[in-house]
Amino acid sequence: MDSEIHGAVEALLEEVAVATQPEPLYDVRRLRGKVAIVTGGSSGIGRAVALEFAEGGTHIAFCFLDTGAQSRLDAQETARRLRALKVQVYFRSCDVRESHDVKDFVAEVQEELGGLQILINNAGIGRDGALWNMEDHEWEAVVRTNLDGAFFFTRAVAPIMRAQEFGKIVNVTSVHGISSEFGISNYASSKAGMIGLTRSAAIELGPRNINVNAVAPGYIRTTRLTDGVAPEILDRAREQAVLGRLGDPQDVAGVVVFLCSEAARHITGAVIPVDGGYLL
């Protein structure tokens, strides 16, 4: 009798174990047909993330800040490359600092693309300077874009993801949310704030099967970096990274998509440096 029960229990355990096996690493097939919002998707890291998702068949909505003709051309170029990958695309300028605009954008995405499963809070800026010289508007622009923007988008998608009991959110913070340097008090504060937001959102949304994580890129070769940062700072960053190089946008994109895949289903509230060992 004992052995019969033992056998039945073993069989049950095996069945349960099989049923709950995670998918193989980075199974993009499971992301096919889903809808992802990428904020600041028109250039740099955001564009690379959008393209990486689209490679796996995920439909993309992205927003950007209209700062003139070049910003609109960048957005159109991203949309063109996405459409070439045969996914649906919705994009428009939407200022992440404006909570009403964010709310409208999220509603439009649902209507245009028929759902919403993934949010990548990537839009971000820097306005560097010693804190004793920093103007109110320089502090506000950075904190409102990087931190308020991520909060507004997270708040706007939360009811949708909670109702469907599924969602993936990834916040693009920075190594400078973990350690700082001279002249970036606004940026470092906003990025550290995003880490707090990541953990809080993970706690509040986890019970409804929503994963919230962050990536913390080191120095990544985007035009923002190559045009805006002094060459000697980039040389120092390259030396400080134990892998001896700057990162590429694709280096970040791969980790972001992984965090949204079934392979990462048991990861939440994590902050993953993508920095070539810069923080070591």
Provide, rounded to whole angstroms, the least separation between the CB of residue 126 and ligand NAI: 7
Are 173 and 259 in contact by the 8 Å Cβ rule? The answer is no
Q: Is 225 in the site for ligand NAI (CB under 6 A)?
A: yes
Are 256 and 199 in contact by the 8 Å Cβ rule? The answer is no
219 labelled catalytic? no
- Using the rule CB under 6 A, give the single segment among 14-22, 53-61, 81-89, 223-231 that binds ligand NAI: 223-231
Binders in 151-180 for ligand NAI, by CB under 6 A: 172, 174
CA distances (Å), origin 29, targets 24, 55, 73, 153, 221: 11, 10, 31, 26, 29
**Cα angle value 197/241/150 (rounded, 5°):** 20
Q: Is 194 in the site for ligand NAI (CB under 6 A)?
A: no
- Applying CB under 6 A, the site for ligand NAI has a residue count of 28
Strand order in 210-217's β-sheet? Answer: 89-93, 59-64, 35-39, 118-121, 167-172, 210-217, 271-274
- Using the rule CB under 6 A, give the single segment among 1-9, 95-103, 157-165, 195-203 that binds ligand NAI: 95-103
- For residue 20, give the amino acid letter: T
Q: Is 271 in the site for ligand NAI (CB under 6 A)?
A: no
- Can you give the binding site for ligand NAI, defined by CB under 6 A? 39-40, 42-46, 63-65, 71, 95-97, 122-125, 145, 172, 174, 217, 219-220, 222-225
As annotated, the active-site residues are: 187
